[in-house]
């Protein structure tokens, strides 16, 4: 395996980690405020569909992104009403949202496009295009010199290879998602809102006593979660792939949930966890089987590894993951 | 203070929730430009007016009885077993191993062996999440979700690398021997030469599911263990005080739950496909959540809810066949039922409780 192959795997690691990261941060806000959200998957799926569909109809990816965020927000409101206003079971609500999204997306896709539950393939303006950084080797250079892009990169120096292959050439959402990590860390640990958000997930009664509305804080957190899931879903349909296909989230919402636990509900750790799970996905996509000596690691093991790691972490054998204390419990004011 | 009479809690609340879900589903059908009344008639025609339709309805209902009971038993111990899907998949592996490697002389013995295999494997798949919940406090919802995905990978690996016969292309085990094939409803009930139930997959496992309903009723309401499970579900501290061990109750409740979910694969793997295939569960593990919520965790309620969802599933298949409405409509209906009977329960309950309270006050003042 040469250096360039490693770079390419890392490059697709970043691509695959981004939807995980956005969904993971989404879950982070919600769960830090004490609202469990196993509906990340459904919200991403709904957002992926509406982003893909509206981008295809309007031909503008930004309109698609807004539609995706809108769809995800709508489901967030359902989750909020069920778990905050009506104090219902947050886990059951999450299950319902996942199933609702899985059904509704195909139903509407079939009604609108009649292509068996997918949206039409997106053309240039319907997708997020890669951003070429200055001095990076990109498709333009390939056109000018008449050589193939892969050849140009192979000939380049190692720093240039890293710069062109790994850092440059991602869509804007990739960079925004990575910026969201320090931003979230600052919001959570550096602002008054973040302090209150964390408090409402640990001890809502104390927040209430301080005269701050628990309901409002929790709705805010759930809505932030909706926006981030919306961007994650839109990224799937308009950047990672060119259009929506049935069940395209393929468990990413749950891997994000796993990453969130892995990261112990902290933003920076979330980035590393998502990159790790992204790497596993990238390896599973690129290599069908990996030989270690005489032993062949089956591709199924690579697919299952994020889930297995999460169970190990949850079991507390490698550093214990303690969720926010008031997570999952509806807040009832004393009367 | 009881705010509502028992009958309202057991019957009125689920019915109103169901009505709300049906209303929204009708709006969805209208939204995609179809007529909900015609659609409903088509579902009834396809699922209930022909014996073959009944054969499919009862086949699906059999799956949902098992998964619904599985969720309910765990619910009684206040454990949310979302892993029925994975437990059923691994239960299927148990069925396949038992049927492929033991030469059964007759189906009546094979079904006993297959049930034992399915229950054992399903229970084993629930054991680790149960143990981790009880011993290490790992949230059982998360671990069972993870175990669903792990189960899918395990099943894929077994089918591709180990159980697939040499030369076969699709990821599936070899066919089970002739002697293990279960009699279906056509074999059992159709008079000589009649076409009744022909081609429908409902089979003798349906009666196994009915027996499971009786078993769960006896277990939960007529045994000491059931009492322990229920008291643990109502108050963990009280149960601890009364001397029952949380570890023991959690593990036993989840083992029974996993065994029931696993036994679903007797119906799908031995009864229908007669070999182990990749996607035999078809989301039945998740439908079990809707069934248990709708059936109020009681075997009679679960039986009725399973029949309802069996009807919906078969009716939905008919709709997909004859109209432009895809099968996913049924997933939407299931989701709405889970939402209204599970998460938005208070939406229905709060106004009803207020209503009954008012009625009682009036009576007292008169």
Q: Is A87 left (phi over 0), alpha (psi -120 to 50) or beta?
A: left
With an 8 Å Cβ cutoff, are A87 and B346 in contact?
A: yes
Instruction: Determine the average pLDDT of the residues in A298-311.
Output: 85
pLDDT at A222: 96
A22 occurs within a structural domain: yes
Could you tell me which chain B residue has the CA closest to the CA of A252?
A: B149
- Distance of alpha carbon B60 from alpha carbon B45, whole angstroms: 17
Instruction: Determine the average pLDDT of the residues in A200-227.
Output: 93
Instruction: Determine the average pLDDT of the residues in A293-315.
Output: 83
Which of B31, B286, B326 has its CB closest to that of A117?
A: B326
For chain B, give the mean pLDDT: 90
Euclidean distance between the first and the last CA atom of chain A, given in angstroms as a whole number: 67
The domain tally of chain A equals 1
Alpha carbon of A109: minimum distance to chain B alpha carbons (Å): 10
A78 occurs within a structural domain: yes
Alpha carbon of B354: minimum distance to chain A alpha carbons (Å): 15
Binned at pLDDT 50, 70 and 90, residue B85 comes out as very high
For residue A292, report the phi and psi dihedrals to the nearest 5 degrees: -115, 100
- Distance of alpha carbon B75 from alpha carbon A154, whole angstroms: 59
Binned at pLDDT 50, 70 and 90, residue A79 comes out as very high
Binned at pLDDT 50, 70 and 90, residue A1 comes out as low
Place of tokens 């980690």: A17
With an 8 Å Cβ cutoff, are B33 and A107 in contact?
A: no
Candidate from A126-135, B54-63, B100-109 with smallest mean pLDDT: A126-135
With an 8 Å Cβ cutoff, are A314 and B128 in contact?
A: no
pLDDT of B90 over the 50 cut:
yes
Binned at pLDDT 50, 70 and 90, residue B157 comes out as very high
A159 occurs within a structural domain: no
pLDDT at B366: 66
- Distance of alpha carbon A185 from alpha carbon A178, whole angstroms: 12
With an 8 Å Cβ cutoff, are B324 and A88 in contact?
A: no
Instruction: Determine the average pLDDT of the residues in A51-59.
Output: 91
A317 occurs within a structural domain: no
Candidate from A51-65, A128-142, A206-220, B211-225 with smallest mean pLDDT: A128-142
pLDDT single digits (tens) B97-139: 999 999 999 999 999 999 999 999 999 999 999 999 988 888 8
Instruction: Determine the average pLDDT of the residues in A180-185.
Output: 96
With an 8 Å Cβ cutoff, are A93 and B145 in contact?
A: no
With an 8 Å Cβ cutoff, are B343 and A90 in contact?
A: yes
With an 8 Å Cβ cutoff, are B82 and A261 in contact?
A: no
Could you tell me which chain B residue has the CA closest to the CA of A110?
A: B326
Could you tell me which chain A residue has the CA closest to the CA of B351?
A: A86
For chain A, give the mean pLDDT: 87
A143 occurs within a structural domain: no
Closest listed residue to residue A244, CA positions, set A53, A41, A43, A61: A53
- Distance of alpha carbon B256 from alpha carbon B271, whole angstroms: 22
Predicted model pTM = 0.90
With an 8 Å Cβ cutoff, are A107 and B325 in contact?
A: yes
Which alpha helices (H) appear in A162-203, and where do they start and end?
Answer: 172-190, 192-202
pLDDT of A43 over the 90 cut:
yes
- Distance of alpha carbon B246 from alpha carbon B133, whole angstroms: 10
- Distance of alpha carbon B207 from alpha carbon A206, whole angstroms: 55
Candidate from A60-74, B151-165, B319-333 with smallest mean pLDDT: B319-333
A126 occurs within a structural domain: yes
Closest listed residue to residue A198, CA positions, set A86, A34, A2: A34
Give percent of chain B above pLDDT 70: 99
Instruction: Determine the average pLDDT of the residues in A93-99.
Output: 93
CA B157, chain centre distance (Å): 25
- Write out chain B residues lying below 8 Å of A261, CB-based: 142
pLDDT at A292: 73
Alpha carbon of A129: minimum distance to chain B alpha carbons (Å): 33
**A241 CB contacts (<8 Å, ≥6 apart)?**
A248
pLDDT of A108 over the 50 cut:
yes
- Write out chain A residues lying below 8 Å of B143, CB-based: 311, 314
Q: Are A113 and A53 in contact (CB under 8 A)?
A: yes
pLDDT single digits (tens) A218-263: 999 999 999 999 999 999 999 888 889 988 988 899 989 989 988 8
A256 occurs within a structural domain: no
Binned at pLDDT 50, 70 and 90, residue B1 comes out as very low
Chain A contact probe: residue of B82, B323, B343 with most A CBs at under 10 A: B343
pLDDT at A335: 53
Full DSSP string of B47-90: HHSSHHHHHHHHHHHHHHHHHHHHHHHHHHTT-----HHHHHHH
With an 8 Å Cβ cutoff, are A110 and B150 in contact?
A: no
Alpha carbon of B340: minimum distance to chain A alpha carbons (Å): 9
pLDDT of A319 over the 70 cut:
no
pLDDT at B322: 86
pLDDT of A311 over the 90 cut:
no
A271 occurs within a structural domain: no
Q: Are A113 and A120 in contact (CB under 8 A)?
A: yes
Instruction: Determine the average pLDDT of the residues in A70-87.
Output: 94
- Distance of alpha carbon A197 from alpha carbon B238, whole angstroms: 33
pLDDT at B2: 56
pLDDT single digits (tens) A7-17: 888 988 999 99
Which of B142, B289, B328 has its CB closest to that of A103?
A: B328
Mean pLDDT highest for which of B39-53, B68-82, B155-169?
B68-82
Q: Tell me the sheet residues that pair with B203.
A: B184
Domain that holds residue A44: 3-131+170-250
């Amino acid at each position: 395996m040469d250096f360039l192959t490693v770079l390419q795997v890392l490059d697709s690691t970043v691509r695959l980690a981004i939807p995980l990261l956005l969904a993971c941060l989404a879950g982070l806000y919600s769960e830090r405020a004490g609202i469990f959200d196993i509906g990340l998957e459904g919200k991403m799926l709904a957002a992926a569909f509406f982003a893909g569909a509206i981008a295809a109809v309007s031909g503008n990816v930004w309109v698609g992104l807004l539609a995706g965020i809108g769809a995800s927000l709508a489901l967030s409101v359902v989750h909020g009403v069920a778990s905050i206003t009506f104090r219902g079971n947050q886990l059951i609500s999450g299950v319902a949202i996942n199933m609702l999204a899985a059904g509704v997306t195909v139903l509407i896709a079939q009604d609108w496009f009649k292509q068996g539950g997918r949206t039409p393939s997106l053309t240039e303006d319907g997708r997020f295009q890669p951003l070429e950084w200055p001095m990076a080797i990109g498709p333009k250079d390939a056109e000018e010199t008449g050589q193939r892009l892969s050849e140009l990169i192979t000939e380049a120096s190692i720093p240039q290879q890293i710069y062109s292959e790994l850092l440059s050439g991602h869509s804007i959402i990739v960079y925004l998602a990575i910026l969201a990590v320090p931003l979230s860390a600052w919001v959570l640990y550096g602002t008054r809102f973040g302090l209150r958000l964390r408090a409402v997930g640990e001890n809502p009664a104390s927040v209430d006593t301080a005269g701050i509305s628990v309901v409002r804080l929790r709705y805010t957190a759930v809505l932030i979660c909706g926006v981030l899931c919306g961007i994650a879903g839109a990224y799937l349909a308009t950047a990672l792939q060119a259009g929506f296909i049935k069940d395209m989230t393929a468990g990413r919402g749950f891997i994000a949930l796993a990453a969130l636990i892995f990261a112990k509900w902290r933003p920076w750790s979330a980035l590393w966890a998502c990159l790790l799970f992204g790497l596993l996905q990238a390896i599973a996509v690129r290599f069908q089987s990996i030989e270690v000596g005489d032993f062949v690691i089956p591709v199924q093991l690579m697919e299952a590894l994020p889930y297995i790691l999460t169970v190990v972490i949850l079991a507390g054998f490698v550093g214990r993951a303690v969720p926010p204390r008031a997570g999952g419990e509806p807040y009832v004011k004393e009367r | 203070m009881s705010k509502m009479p028992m009958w309202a809690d057991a019957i009125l609340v689920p019915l109103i929730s169901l009505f709300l879900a049906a209303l929204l589903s009708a709006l969805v059908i209208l939204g995609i430009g179809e007529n909900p009344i015609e659609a409903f008639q088509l579902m009834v025609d396809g699922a209930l007016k022909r014996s073959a339709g009944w054969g499919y309805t009862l086949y699906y209902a059999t799956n949902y009885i098992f998964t619904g009971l599985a969720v309910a038993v765990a619910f009684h111990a206040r454990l949310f077993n979302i892993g029925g899907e994975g437990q059923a998949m691994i239960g299927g592996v148990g069925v396949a191993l038992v049927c492929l490697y033991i030469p059964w002389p007759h189906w009546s013995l094979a079904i006993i062996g297959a049930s034992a295999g399915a229950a054992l494997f399903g229970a084993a798949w629930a054991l680790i999440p149960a143990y981790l919940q009880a011993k290490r406090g790992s949230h059982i919802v998360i671990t069972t979700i993870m175990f669903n995905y792990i189960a899918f990978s395990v099943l894929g690996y077994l089918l591709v690398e180990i159980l697939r016969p040499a030369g076969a292309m699709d990821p599936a085990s070899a066919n089970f021997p002739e002697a293990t094939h279960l009699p279906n409803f056509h074999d059992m009930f159709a008079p000589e030469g009649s076409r009744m139930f022909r081609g429908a997959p409902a089979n003798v496992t349906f009666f196994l599911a009915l027996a499971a309903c009786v078993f769960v009723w006896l277990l939960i309401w007529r045994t000491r263990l059931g009492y322990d499970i229920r008291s643990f579900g109502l108050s963990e501290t009280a149960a601890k005080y009364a001397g029952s061990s949380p570890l023991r109750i959690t593990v036993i409740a989840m083992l029974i739950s996993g065994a029931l979910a696993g036994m679903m694969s007797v119906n799908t793997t031995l009864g229908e496909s007669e070999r182990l295939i990749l996607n035999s569960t078809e989301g039945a593990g998740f439908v079990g959540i809707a069934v248990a919520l709708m059936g109020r965790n009681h075997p009679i309620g679960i039986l009725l809810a399973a029949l309802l969802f069996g009807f919906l599933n078969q009716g939905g298949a008919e709709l997909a066949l004859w109209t432009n409405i895809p099968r996913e409509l049924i997933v939407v209906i299931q989701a709405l039922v889970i939402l209204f009977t599970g998460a938005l329960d208070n939406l229905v309950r709060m106004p009803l409780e207020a209503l009954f309270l008012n009625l009682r006050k009036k009576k007292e003042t008169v």
